[in-house]
Amino acid sequence: MKKGLLYITLLLLVVGCRLDRTKDQEPLGSMSLPVTISLPMENTYAQRLIRRSIGDPGKDERFARPKHVYFFVLKYDGENWSVWHKEHREPADEDWTPKRYSGSLSTSGDSIYEYNRPINLLLSNEKFEGQVFVIASAKELEFNTPFASITTADQVRNLQFNVAEPNTNANLQDIYSSPYNYEVNGSYYGSFSSIYQKVPHVNLMLYHVAAKVDIKWSVAESLRINKDHPENAIRLTYMKAKNLFNGYAYCFKPMKNERAAILATGDVVSIITPLDEGLWWEGRAYFYTIPYTVTGNPGYFPLQMEMSTNGSAAVYRPTLNMQMNTSSPFVPWMRAMFNISNKLTDTEETKIIDL
């Protein structure tokens, strides 16, 4: 599984501040927090396919540049965590600069876009450590707590966004965040230490919050044509993924979404329709969805499919329990292959797919 990349370099520069250690009670002023956001996007160099890094699968995919970026900076004063700063930016397409990234946390040569804008922060005289969380999206996000009302560190870490309209599946592939449990050397990778001793640098990579589901199908060649009884030739004429996640999903805990049961209703993605003649016998399609597990069956995402052959009313409804590592910071790349050798019957079936 490959990681989509969001690289943030935070360079804290004290501007107009008095760092007089003998006057700890005086406020220190403000500081500029330069932020560099990097995202792997569509090809930008000589028609080269994107090489993806761990956390985001696939090649030659097209992703919209984020038009909404939400920043959260937390601080720890030795006893409590609190929100130091939050900001909603709306960058234009031209604010993203195409570059090639070759850092240590990426496949060498990834094509990326960078967004660079500083954040101005109020610097107090407290000594503290901090953490930075970021979520970026092509469309504005609706949170479970209104953005203006987010005032505590727990609200940030447990923040959720609405998967329902207008944030449909078409937008899910363009939402990235910093997973809360991605650690480097035992600490959250968006952490920084006291600003008094050294200039902190925070290197963040953002990853997709939605998992990629890759579906392939093939009808046995011997069954595609029946000269004696053409009506018996098998063709797949209808397929969709149904009961996909809707409602509020975690921003920074993408593998912690859970439901009491398989969703009775949910979003639907049509993969092929009866008019898609070119896909009757074989094909491949993918979509992005929020993975979730069901209480009592931890570690498995219950992906529900529905399909039929020859335009029949008989429908085959498999539930694909796809194995996931729910302790991982990164959403999985899930794959399913359907080898069709008979007409589908009106049945439901449960399959276990260990990736």
Kindly state the tokens that stand for 41.
């996007």
DSSP state at residue 143: B
DSSP state at residue 144: S
Which stretch of 5-14, 71-80, 224-233 has the lowest confidence by average pLDDT?
A: 5-14
Same domain? 156 vs 248 = no
pLDDT in the model for residue 107: 43
Query: Alpha-carbon Rg of the chain, whole angstroms?
Result: 24
We report the CATH number of the domain holding residue 325 as: 2.60.40
The answer as to whether 87 is a domain residue is yes
For residue 353, the surrounding DSSP H or E stretch is: strand 347-353
Same domain? 193 vs 224 = no
pTM to 2 decimals? 0.81
Q: CA–CA separation, 26 vs 242, rounded Å? A: 59
CA 277, distance to chain mean position in Å, is 32
pLDDT in the model for residue 340: 87
State the residue for tokens 């101005």. Answer: 120
Last residue of a domain, one of 208, 232, 257: 208
Same domain? 259 vs 345 = yes
Same domain? 193 vs 261 = no
pLDDT(28) > 70: no
* Dihedral angle sign, alpha carbons of residues 271, 165, 41, 203: negative
The answer as to whether 1 is a domain residue is no
pLDDT(183) > 60: yes
Same domain? 147 vs 216 = no
Last residue of a domain, one of 189, 208, 227: 208
Same domain? 33 vs 14 = yes
Residue-averaged pLDDT of the chain? 77
The answer as to whether 3 is a domain residue is no
The answer as to whether 92 is a domain residue is yes
The answer as to whether 19 is a domain residue is yes
Same domain? 237 vs 204 = no
Q: CA–CA separation, 332 vs 355, rounded Å? A: 9
The answer as to whether 338 is a domain residue is yes
Same domain? 120 vs 170 = yes
* Residue 68, C-beta contacts closer than 8 angstroms, at least 6 positions apart: 88, 89, 90, 136, 137, 138, 139, 140, 141
Q: CA–CA separation, 352 vs 355, rounded Å? A: 10
* Dihedral angle sign, alpha carbons of residues 175, 181, 183, 187: positive
CA angle 182–291–174, rounded 5-degree value: 75
Residue predicted with more confidence, 110 or 206: 206
Report residue 141's pLDDT band, with 50, 70 and 90 as the boundaries: very high
Residue predicted with more confidence, 83 or 343: 83
Write the pLDDT tens digit of every residue in 31-50: 665 566 677 655 433 333 33
* Residue 207, C-beta contacts closer than 8 angstroms, at least 6 positions apart: 3, 4, 5, 6, 55, 56, 176, 177, 178, 179, 254, 329, 330, 331
Report residue 251's pLDDT band, with 50, 70 and 90 as the boundaries: very high
Residue 162 and residue 141 in contact, taking contact as beta carbons nearer than 8 Å: yes
Write the pLDDT tens digit of every residue in 157-169: 999 999 975 555 6
pLDDT in the model for residue 96: 78
Same domain? 232 vs 277 = yes
pLDDT in the model for residue 44: 37
Q: CA–CA separation, 305 vs 323, rounded Å? A: 16
Residue predicted with more confidence, 172 or 129: 172
Report residue 13's pLDDT band, with 50, 70 and 90 as the boundaries: very low
Query: In 3D, which of 261, 322, 317, 315 has the Cα closest to residue 289?
Result: 322
Number of domains making up the chain: 2
Which stretch of 89-98, 145-154, 194-203, 338-347 has the lowest confidence by average pLDDT?
A: 194-203
pLDDT in the model for residue 230: 75
pLDDT(299) > 70: yes
Domain that holds residue 58: 8-208
pLDDT(349) > 90: no
Same domain? 43 vs 142 = yes
The answer as to whether 243 is a domain residue is yes
Same domain? 92 vs 234 = no
CA 275, distance to chain mean position in Å, is 32
Last residue of a domain, one of 181, 208, 235: 208
Report residue 346's pLDDT band, with 50, 70 and 90 as the boundaries: confident
pLDDT(7) > 60: no
Residue predicted with more confidence, 349 or 44: 349
pLDDT in the model for residue 353: 60
Kindly state the tokens that stand for 100.
């090639």
What is the mean predicted confidence (pLDDT) over 18-38?
Answer: 52
Q: What are the φ and ψ backbone dihedral angles of 179, each rounded to 5 degrees? A: -65, 135
Same domain? 346 vs 315 = yes
The answer as to whether 2 is a domain residue is no
Q: CA–CA separation, 138 vs 173, rounded Å? A: 9
Q: What percentage of the chain exceeds 70 in pLDDT? A: 70
For the beta carbon of residue 172, count every other beta carbon within 10 angstroms.
24
Alpha-carbon separation of residue 169 from 16, 289, 296, 307, 314 (angstroms): 46, 6, 27, 20, 27
126-204-182-136 Cα dihedral, nearest 10 degrees: 100
Which stretch of 67-76, 127-136, 291-300, 345-354 has the lowest confidence by average pLDDT?
A: 345-354
Write the pLDDT tens digit of every residue in 207-247: 889 998 988 899 998 889 877 777 788 899 999 999 899 89
Query: In 3D, which of 310, 242, 304, 314 has the Cα closest to residue 281?
Result: 310
